[in-house]
Amino acid sequence: MCSWFDAFHFHPDRECAAFLSLSLGIFLGWFLLVFFLSKTGAFQFDRHSGLRVPLLLAMTGPTVLAYVALRLQAWREVVLAVPDYWLVAIQGLRVAGGALLGASVQGLLPAAFAIPAGLGDCFVGMTALVVAVYVYKRRPRWTTLARVWNYLGILDLVVAGVLGFLNSPLRLSRFPLVVIPALLVPLAYTLHLYSLRVLREGRVSFPAE
């Protein structure tokens, strides 16, 4: 019986292995940095001066750097070598955002933020594997579907970010919830941007019959 990975031909070549290794290293390093800064109070919300700069930089900085890094030929070649359906399928982890719904029920987060954000993440996560299979099989208009799905995923992140700052800036500036805006949101943004770039410029492959 074939495993899920075999079904998606999960046999990374050198470029894909490099992408996975470097991405994991960067993710772990960024997590440690976010953890350290949160413990020092760098992300704390101040009602008098507003959100401190570090949290805004933590939200936007990684995505900007990841996109600018595509100007480096070596990194661009690594990213463009990643199969397009991988970058879609990995967003299936967004279903974990459903935990926000539970946090709302328990009163840990305001419903005005948690419900739209949680439902949006669940939608993106549950449809990720469907879209990934559609892309892998090269169904009719697969590129259009993948692009629209990516834009919807980005819209979900934008809406969730705005609602989070409007309704729960204090709680989202403290550990562990600060991991959402400072780590997970930039990661999701980056994956969407890389997915769109690979769909536009990446290598074209077709499933074996």
Pick the more confident residue, 51 or 94.
94
Q: What's residue 42's pLDDT?
A: 73
| pLDDT tens, residue by residue, 43-61 | 776 555 555 556 777 788 8
pLDDT above 70 coverage of the chain, percent: 81
* Residue 40 or 113, more confident: 113
Residue 12 has pLDDT above 80, yes or no: no
Pairwise CA distance, residues 146 & 86, whole Å: 12
Q: Which long-range contacts (CB under 8 A, 24 or more apart) does 58-64 make?
A: 58/34, 58/181, 58/182, 58/183, 58/186, 59/161, 59/181, 59/182, 59/185, 59/186, 60/186, 61/186, 62/30, 62/186, 62/187, 62/190, 63/186, 63/189, 63/190, 63/193
Least confident of 40-49, 62-71, 96-105, 122-131: 40-49
Distance separating alpha carbons of residues 59 and 186, to the nearest angstrom: 6
Q: Report the DSSP beta bridge partners of residue 45.
A: 51
pLDDT digit string (tens) for 129-178? Answer: 999 999 999 989 999 999 999 999 999 999 998 888 788 777 777 787 88
Model pTM? Answer: 0.81
How confident is residue 204, by pLDDT bands cut at 50, 70 and 90?
low
